[in-house]
Amino acid sequence: MKSQLLALIFQLLLLLALAPLLSGCVKNWKSKLQNRRGPRVWQPYFDLAKFLCKDMVISEHASWIFRAMPYVLFISTLLAGLMMPMLSASAPLSLFGDALAFVGLLALGRFFLALGGLDPASAFGGMGSSREMTISAIAEPALMLAIFTVAIAAGSTNLSQMLLAAQGPTWKLINPAHVLAFAALFIVLLAETGRIPVDNPATHLELTMIHEAMILEYSGRYLALIEWSASIKQLVLMALLANIFFPVGVATDWTASSLGLSLLWFLGKLFALAAAVVLVETTNAKLRLFRVPDLLSAAFILAALALLSTFLFQ
Amino acid sequence: MDSLSSVLLLKAALCIYGVGIVGSLAALRRERIANVVGFGSATVAAVCGILAAVLALTVEQGLGGSFELWPSLIPYVKLTVKLDPLSAFFVLIVSVLALAVSIYSFGYVRGFYGRKNVGVLGAFYNALLLATTLVFTASNAFFFLIAWEIMALTAYCLISFEHEKAETRSGGVLFFIMSHIGTGCLILGFLLLFQASGDYSFDSFRAVGHTMSPARRDAAFLLFLIGFGVKAGIVPLHIWLPMAHPVAPSNASALLSGVLIKTGIYGLTRVLFDFMGTPPNWWGVTVLTIGTISAVLGVLYALMEHDLKRLLAYHSIENIGIILMGLGAALMFLHTNHPVLATLALIAGLYHTINHGIFKALLFLGAGAVLHSTHTRNMEEMGGLIKRMPKTAFCFLIGAVAISALPPLNGFISEWLTYQSLLQGFGTTGSLVRLMFPLSGAMLALTGALAAACFVKAFGVTFLAQPRSEHAAHAREASPTMILGMGLFVAACVFLGLFPTTFLTLFDPLTQQLTGQQLSAQLTVANGLALANTQAQGGTVSTLSIALMGICLLPVPLVLWLFFGRHARTRIGPTWDCGLRGLTPHMEYTATGFSKPIRMIFKALFRPRREVQREYDYSPYFATTIRFESHIEEAFVTSIYRPLNRAILRLSRRMRALQAGSIQAYLIYIFITLLLLLMFAL
Amino acid sequence: MNPPQSELASQWITLLAAGMLVIQLLMVVQGMLLANIRLFALQSLMLAAIAAIIAYFHNATHVYWVAVLTLVGKVFFLPWLLNRLVRRIQIHQEIEPMLNSTASMLLCGAFTLLGYIVARPFTTLERIGNNTLAIAITLLLTGFFLMFNRRKAITQVLALLTVENGVMLAAIALTTYGMPLVVELGIFFDVMVAVMVLGILVYRIRETFASMDVSKLSQLKG
């Protein structure tokens, strides 16, 4: 009981501390690839501290939904993160939620995020909410089908079980189902975290923004919570990709040395994934909104092929 | 308590409904008394019904007795009422809905004072509840059909309550016609069963499917699927739902969507699981496919609606699809001889049935309160209602979160169970049919995400932002009884969401009767805290723990405030308007605009028709007025029903020639018929 | 018969065959001609790799020649030729295909399923890899689909070449480590000559009709 509580607190702190670092790395490396100096890797921490101290301006048309949304988003994202195995094979909340609850909690956060965009009666927010809900709806079948492929191979929807099955003999690293499901989930990662080619995280032009549009009216500490939640969501989805598909170096016991080694492996995998994301962002242009379903249906077909591969390549 | 007490309570419920009918009609002139008598007796009867059902499912474990409503002198027509576990479950659904909706109605029908006759409304309301309870508990095919017809008639009367509007009249008539097409198929189906068993009582029908020839069995399956499917609202038999449910008074709409379409599900469950025995594989595949298609099409058409009640009606089609996915999967598992998985899928489908009843009724009641205040069903004329009707908005929000299958509410639990049964289905068979399970799961994920998008639109456009019309700007909060009715549903949603393991124990006698398995112990781990899926290392979920952990994590942002933001202040300011002063409600995002991306993506399905007309004096580039119309007609109406309509009318016109009008011709017809009969008898 | 490394070989061949399938699907939705040519080169590279792995693990030296031929011809020579052609013609983008992107993808998914169903009775005859015959049939079907879905002649040539890739894959998978070298050489040079002729023809079509749209070639009527 006490060790579980400790694991919970430790994973919570890890989530909170690591997420801004990952965002900062992505921004910095993207700038370096584009021949700019770019912000420091530690900049998001300073940004968060700055937002938390600042005054807030709230729209006169906003209701309690506007004020409640940052909390709901933050807490649902943290809960989803606590269900994901990061350093050790068993996540703190794995009894309370499996992969389906994970997706459901992220959907809950997104629901309230979209409502928070509509609340201040601004057209930007409405536009952002509309686009965000559309894209997430089209991405959902691909996400679920890829998760199903892994769950069917592992025989369970429990995330820790999926990780342990991936370490086992049947799920070989170069299995086609493995590779195809990873590719499908990578595209869904780009869609869910709002990266190019789906959304541009650095723009404020109304034609091109989706996530930024929904949070345009937020300021001060609400904005801090929302930005932090976005970083945590990115961290959690990357952890899903890293740990379920490449479960190398995940700790199986609770000694300090194995946890330390596991932390190093985890950081290595995360940075490799972040580098891949940066590469994709830099070499591609943002897609027109009505071309995004083409990309996501390609992800769906990849996931369907991954499913077919489970018995196609017996 | 003696074992007849559930029967006693059921008798009491039926009598009190009858009292409600008579009382409402008696108090035809005095509105207030009719209101209190009619809906008060419905409330009391509903409480009796809930107690009867719970007793039957817990204490008596399904061994309750039966009784005859009236001794009938006609052979084969016995008016037997029996409360076996499946009936008790559905009586629980109808009674819970009746209780909350009746309490809501006390305040709601006050809007009809002076305009329409409240006594008539109360009488038909009680009659509908009585007929529905009898449908669920009838144990004789004839009695079932009689109760079914009475239910259809009273539903028609309720739908056409505001018959001065043309829309209402056409909706009611369409409902009536489709309902009778279904009843015709049902009669044929029951006749086939009678042929095999020799009697009309449901007890004699049990497992009669084994004794029927495969052709008769398949014919019966199709007839019952069409008959009950019309009532449930499966695609393509669903066209009456979006026309009939919006035009009824809102408490009736809640009952229609909450209970009436569940009679179709009750019928399908009763026939397919109780009467038909082990099904061939194509039955399950058909039901699963129909369920998936209904779910996806229902939610896609719902996204295109900006009439609040029509949107909710289309969502009923979607949720019936989800229920049928569970039932279809259960049929496939029965065929491949996996009774535990079949029970899991059946539980998933039936759990979703009660969940849908509750949150759909909640949403309709909320829509009714909004309609009551703003006098319009069109979402594009609402807005900003959350500040003027905060409690209604909160109840509607809970309903929206529940129907979008978001944790920790009840919609998530039943979808979780459905996903688990579909996933485990992949390993049950080696044929290619097993691909259907994950693909249906992916489609279920698509409908869940689209439903969330639709309810962001519905809640956001209706309640948030600024009011878009005068009525919305001066809306008043709903009356206390209306809030109480909605609050009961909110409590039910929360209870069913946070305590699924407790509720699952009610399913034991039900599944024991239908598939011979009792799963509630296998579905519970960690002392009843978490829900499992019968596998040892399978996924588990505990919505109660998620909710509690969420509350425990609240200190994290608060600690951050304390450290950093102690001196930060909050100001109220205008929304960012790009520097132009004065944001008007016209600049807000509309419902049509919100769903435009989906409309563009699924253009091939919707085939939207756009019309732009402009009037100009000198040149079309300087138009004085521009009129834009965008219209989506349902694909099934244009491709199936309209051509069918035209073909029937063409045939009828040809046959009209037979009615020549002359007496000679009619005499010759009679003579020819006589000759043919004589030759046939030879 | 099977040395222990055959397991690893089998895995790699399966992975490369799946890679060929994914590249084929990408070609179906890709609109830029130069990118299509690069994808074809990548696919041929994977085929050459498969041939090389088979040659190495089963000590069949004539399959090495197949690998080298594929490498030289289909990975370097033919793409260079087609690249030169595209640059001379100055047309870089495909016109709207007949079926839109999402529908094409779903149809190709259905073709994959069909390929698997058709290849199921033959699985016992396969020596190497698992179900590479299914992938070969899928490459055939999607190649033909690509041929009639697109309208520029160059893409149709590429589609024909991917069909040939599929045939090669089937030959390697089904028979005893590849067909006799003579037959392979024959097919190979046949296709090479066809492509060179088509290259000249395409240039002529462009000059006559000022476009590469084959739907304009409608004069051959009765």
Asked whether A170 and A125 are in contact (CB, 8 A), the reply is: no
pLDDT higher than 90, residue B532: no
- What residue segments make up the domains of chain A, in order of their start? 2-312
Quote the Cα angle for B606-B608-B610, to 5°: 175
Dist. CA B132–CA B262, nearest whole Å? 10
User: What number of C-beta contacts closer than 8 Å exist between B and C?
Assistant: 3
pLDDT digits (tens, 9 = 90+) for B634-671: 888 888 888 999 999 999 988 887 777 777 777 888 88
Q: Which residues of A touch B558 (CB under 8 A)?
A: none
- Across all residues in chain C, what is the average pLDDT? 80
pLDDT higher than 90, residue C209: no
pLDDT higher than 60, residue C176: no
Of the pLDDT bands very low, low, confident and very high (cuts 50, 70, 90), residue B78 is confident
| Mean per-residue pLDDT, B182-197 | 92
Dist. CA B507–CA B302, nearest whole Å? 32
Q: Which residues of A touch B436 (CB under 8 A)?
A: none
Q: Which of B383, B453, B575 is closest, CB to CB, to A59? A: B575
Structure tokens belonging to residue A292: 């995004």
Q: Which of A179, A180, A308 is closest, CB to CB, to C113? A: A308
**3-state class (DSSP) for residue B260:** helix
Looking at residue B317, its pLDDT comes to 95
Best CA proximity match to A233, nearest among A63, A22, A5 = A22
Mention every residue, 6+ apart, whose C-beta is less than 8 A from residue B227: B182, B183, B184, B185, B186, B189, B267
To the nearest whole angstrom, how far is the Cα of C18 from the nearest Cα of chain A?
6
pLDDT higher than 60, residue A306: yes
In DSSP notation, A53-78 reads HS-EEEETT--HHHHHHHHHHHHHHH
Establish if C217 touches chain B: CB-CB under 8 angstroms: no
pLDDT higher than 90, residue B538: no
Dist. CA C71–CA C76, nearest whole Å? 7
pLDDT higher than 90, residue B310: yes
Tell me the residue length of chain A.
314
Quote the Cα angle for A274-A278-A282, to 5°: 175
Q: What is the 3-state secondary structure (H, E, C) of A172-217?
A: CCCCHHHHHHHHHHHHHHHHHCCCCCCCCCCCCCCCCCCHHHHCCC
CB contact under 8 A, B416 and A101: yes
Q: What is the ipTM of this complex?
A: 0.95
pLDDT digits (tens, 9 = 90+) for B575-608: 888 888 778 888 888 998 999 999 988 888 888 8
Question: Which DSSP category does A247 fall into?
Answer: -
Q: What is the 3-state secondary structure (H, E, C) of C72-129?
A: HHHHHHHHHHHHHHHHHHCCCECCCCCCCHHHHHHHHHHHHHHHHHHHHHHHHHCCCC
Of the pLDDT bands very low, low, confident and very high (cuts 50, 70, 90), residue B304 is very high
Mention every residue, 6+ apart, whose C-beta is less than 8 A from residue B51: B6, B9
Strands B570-573 and B530-531: unpaired
Q: Which of C11, C130, C131 is closest, CB to CB, to A172? A: C11
- Among chain B residues, the shortest Cα distance to C113 is held by B432
Looking at residue B568, its pLDDT comes to 86
Of the pLDDT bands very low, low, confident and very high (cuts 50, 70, 90), residue A222 is very high
Q: Which residues of B touch C113 (CB under 8 A)?
A: 432, 435
- Among chain A residues, the shortest Cα distance to B465 is held by A121
Percentage of the residues of chain A whose pLDDT score is greater than 90 = 60
pLDDT digits (tens, 9 = 90+) for A72-82: 999 999 999 99
Q: Which residues of B touch A95 (CB under 8 A)?
A: 525-526, 530, 540, 542, 545
Model pTM? 0.90
Of the pLDDT bands very low, low, confident and very high (cuts 50, 70, 90), residue A137 is very high
Which tops the pLDDT comparison, C79 or C99?
C79
Q: Which of A179, A298, A308 is closest, CB to CB, to C116? A: A308
Establish if B419 touches chain A: CB-CB under 8 angstroms: yes
pLDDT digits (tens, 9 = 90+) for B339-366: 899 999 999 999 999 999 999 999 999 9
- Among chain B residues, the shortest Cα distance to C114 is held by B432
Tokens 């061939």 belong to residue: B280
Best CA proximity match to A280, nearest among A9, A33, A36 = A33
Q: Which residues of C touch A313 (CB under 8 A)?
A: 14, 18, 130-131
Of the pLDDT bands very low, low, confident and very high (cuts 50, 70, 90), residue B229 is very high
Of the pLDDT bands very low, low, confident and very high (cuts 50, 70, 90), residue B77 is confident
pLDDT digits (tens, 9 = 90+) for A271-301: 999 999 999 999 888 888 888 988 998 999 9
- Among chain C residues, the shortest Cα distance to B432 is held by C117
Q: Which residues of B touch C117 (CB under 8 A)?
A: 432
Residue A229, phi then psi, degrees to nearest 5:
-60, -40
- Among chain C residues, the shortest Cα distance to B431 is held by C117
pLDDT digits (tens, 9 = 90+) for B235-280: 889 999 999 999 999 999 999 998 999 999 999 999 998 888 888 8
Tokens 């869904």 belong to residue: A188
pLDDT higher than 90, residue B55: no
Q: Which residues of A touch C130 (CB under 8 A)?
A: 312-314
Looking at residue B117, its pLDDT comes to 86
pLDDT higher than 80, residue C41: yes
Looking at residue B526, its pLDDT comes to 72
- Across all residues in chain B, what is the average pLDDT? 89
- What residue segments make up the domains of chain C, in order of their start? 6-211
Q: Which of A293, A297, A314 is closest, CB to CB, to C130? A: A314
Q: What residues 264-293 of chain A have any CB closer than 8 A to a CB of chain C?
A: 293
Question: Which DSSP category does B464 fall into?
Answer: S
Dist. CA B130–CA B138, nearest whole Å? 12
- Among chain C residues, the shortest Cα distance to A305 is held by C109
To the nearest whole angstrom, how far is the Cα of A258 from the nearest Cα of chain B?
25
Q: Which of B401, B546, B564 is closest, CB to CB, to A49? A: B564
| Mean per-residue pLDDT, A121-126 | 89
pLDDT digits (tens, 9 = 90+) for B79-138: 888 888 899 999 999 999 999 999 999 999 988 888 888 899 999 999 999 999 999 999
Looking at residue C186, its pLDDT comes to 76
pLDDT digits (tens, 9 = 90+) for B279-302: 888 999 999 999 999 999 999 999
Handedness of CA C85, C87, C90, C92 (dihedral sign): positive
- Among chain A residues, the shortest Cα distance to B596 is held by A130
Looking at residue C1, its pLDDT comes to 42
Structure tokens belonging to residue B39: 């809906």
Establish if B567 touches chain A: CB-CB under 8 angstroms: yes
Percentage of the residues of chain B whose pLDDT score is greater than 90 = 51
Establish if C98 touches chain B: CB-CB under 8 angstroms: no
pLDDT higher than 80, residue C179: no
Of the pLDDT bands very low, low, confident and very high (cuts 50, 70, 90), residue B224 is very high
pLDDT higher than 70, residue B150: yes
Chains in contact with chain C (at least 3 beta-carbon pairs closer than 8 A): A, B
Of the pLDDT bands very low, low, confident and very high (cuts 50, 70, 90), residue C193 is confident
Percentage of the residues of chain C whose pLDDT score is greater than 70 = 82
Q: Which residues of C touch A305 (CB under 8 A)?
A: 18, 21-22, 25, 109, 112
Looking at residue C2, its pLDDT comes to 46
pLDDT digits (tens, 9 = 90+) for B404-452: 999 999 999 999 999 999 998 888 887 788 888 999 999 999 999 999 9
Q: Which residues of C touch B435 (CB under 8 A)?
A: 113
pLDDT higher than 90, residue C147: no
